[in-house]
Amino acid sequence: MRLLLWLVALTSWLLASAQELQPVRVGLLQIVDALPVFVARDQGLFQQAGLAPDIITFASAAERNDAIVAGELDFWIGDVVSMALLRKAAPVRIAFLALGATPQEGRFAILVPPNSPLQALADLHGHPVAISQNSVIEFVLDQLLAGTGISVQKQVVDNIAQRFQLLVDGQVDAAVLPDPLLSLAVTLGARILQDDTAENISQSVWGIREGAENLLPALQQAYNQAVDLINADPQGFIPVLARDARLPPQIQTSFVVVPYPRVQLPTPAQVERVINWLVSDKGLLAPGEVTYEGLVVPGAVPAMEGY
């Protein structure tokens, strides 16, 4: 009888604990930026923080953005360009950085194909460069060329897999790619003319649906715990990247996992640089339509010591 009462009490406690978990919908692409989410899921860190995550992966940013506008996600990983443009269509904000606290995080590069006659960035003048339009890829290209006097033609190839293949097959003169595809392209013979590791140009960020702010502290707790695990042994998480972020087999022994930043906001300068580009260079935003204060969750990052 005593054992039966104990089992009943345990069952009631487990049911109560499960009921206390708050559901949260997290949207991801299968990219290296999302590694802390995969680790938090595998280690049960979301549940420890009181969350019941529904992690939804998307095949493209366009599919993810459709879900955001439809209000189907509470949190997601994107970039400042996409967040500023989404702000026009949906009540969304930036919650914290994913990558880009330092220039080494989230590398992008302008590459040329194997056997290209182009040897230096200046040689690119007048040549077409394959990009995705109105995106962080185009933003990085413009920033890398700013002040150089180099003018290029922009060849729109929005599909990143197609852009990669055209590059390694020598079907485009040059292309802009992010890691890990740029590392794979180099392994296959492509060459980097310029990357963004000397200057902190781009940031990937966590987006939040307005109304989900009550879930943010718990998400931050789980996220910081996962970051601490990764940073204690970055290369030890290559198998997770291979499984969940499609890290190509050809670079699994050579790819360097950079440290991930603990929860922090992008700086006003980082966000305003993107907004100014969208206003002045692209004409996609009106002056004052999106601001740092309006885009970033105020007070989104409390002191996280002790997690």
Residue 42 has pLDDT above 70, yes or no: yes
Cβ atoms within 10 Å, residue 26:
23
Residue 259 has pLDDT above 80, yes or no: yes
DSSP 21-83: SEEEEEEEESSGGGHHHHHHHHTTHHHHTTEEEEEEEESSHHHHHHHHHTT--SEEEEEHHHH
pLDDT of 83-138, one tens digit each? 999 999 899 999 999 999 999 999 999 999 999 999 999 999 999 999 999 999 99
Shared domain check, 47 and 89: yes
Query: Of 195, 223, 244, which closes a domain?
Result: 195
Q: What is the pLDDT of residue 166?
A: 98
Q: What is the largest CA-CA distance in the chain?
A: 85
Query: What is the spatial distance between Cα 251 and Cα 265, in angstroms, rounded to a whole number?
Result: 31
Shared domain check, 279 and 246: yes
In a domain, residue 16? The reply is no
Q: What is the pLDDT of residue 299?
A: 66
In a domain, residue 307? The reply is no
> What residue has token string 């993810």?
64
Higher pLDDT, 14 or 252: 252
In a domain, residue 4? The reply is no
In a domain, residue 300? The reply is no
b vs e for 64-94, b when ≥16 Cβ sit within 10 Å of the residue's Cβ? bbeebeeeebbbbbbbbbbbbbbbeeeebbb
Query: Of 195, 213, 243, which closes a domain?
Result: 195
Query: What is the spatial distance between Cα 9 and Cα 2, in angstroms, rounded to a whole number?
Result: 11
Shared domain check, 122 and 249: no
In a domain, residue 11? The reply is no
pLDDT of 189-218, one tens digit each? 999 999 999 999 999 999 999 999 999 999
- Work out how many domains the chain is built from and give that number: 2
- Across 63-73, average pLDDT: 95
Q: What is the pLDDT of residue 19?
A: 58
User: Backbone phi, then psi, for 139, in 5-degree steps?
Assistant: -60, -45
**Mean residue pLDDT across the chain:** 91
Shared domain check, 96 and 219: yes
Shared domain check, 90 and 223: yes
* Parent domain of 145: 108-195
Shared domain check, 90 and 29: yes
Sign of the CA dihedral with 257 first, then 259, 264, and 269 last? negative
Mapping DSSP to helix (H, G, I), strand (E, B) and coil, where does residue 142 land? helix
- 104's CB contacts (< 8 A; 6+ apart) are 197, 258
Cis peptide before 180 (omega within 30 of 0): yes
Shared domain check, 241 and 94: yes
| CA distances to 81, 82, 91, 122, 181 from 290, in Å | 11, 12, 12, 35, 31
In a domain, residue 13? The reply is no
Paired tokens of 102: 């330092």
CATH number assigned to the domain comprising residue 28: 3.40.190.10
Shared domain check, 140 and 264: no
Shared domain check, 142 and 74: no
Sign of the CA dihedral with 185 first, then 186, 187, and 190 last? positive
- 16's CB contacts (< 8 A; 6+ apart) are none
Query: Of 141, 175, 195, which closes a domain?
Result: 195
In a domain, residue 69? The reply is yes
Residue 188 has pLDDT above 90, yes or no: yes
Shared domain check, 218 and 151: no
Query: What is the spatial distance between Cα 175 and Cα 167, in angstroms, rounded to a whole number?
Result: 6
Strands (E), the chain: 22-29, 51-58, 75-79, 92-99, 108-112, 128-131, 153-156, 175-178, 191-195, 204-209
Asked whether 282 and 267 are in contact (CB, 8 A), the reply is no
Q: In residues, how long is the chain?
A: 307
Shared domain check, 219 and 90: yes
Residue 298: pLDDT band by 50, 70, 90 thresholds? Answer: confident
b vs e for 125-140, b when ≥16 Cβ sit within 10 Å of the residue's Cβ? eebbbbbbebbbbbbb
Q: Which pTM value belongs to this model?
A: 0.89
pLDDT > 70: percent of the chain: 91
Paired tokens of 12: 């009631």
Shared domain check, 272 and 208: yes
In a domain, residue 83? The reply is yes
Report the first-to-last Cα separation within the chain, whole angstroms.
Answer: 41
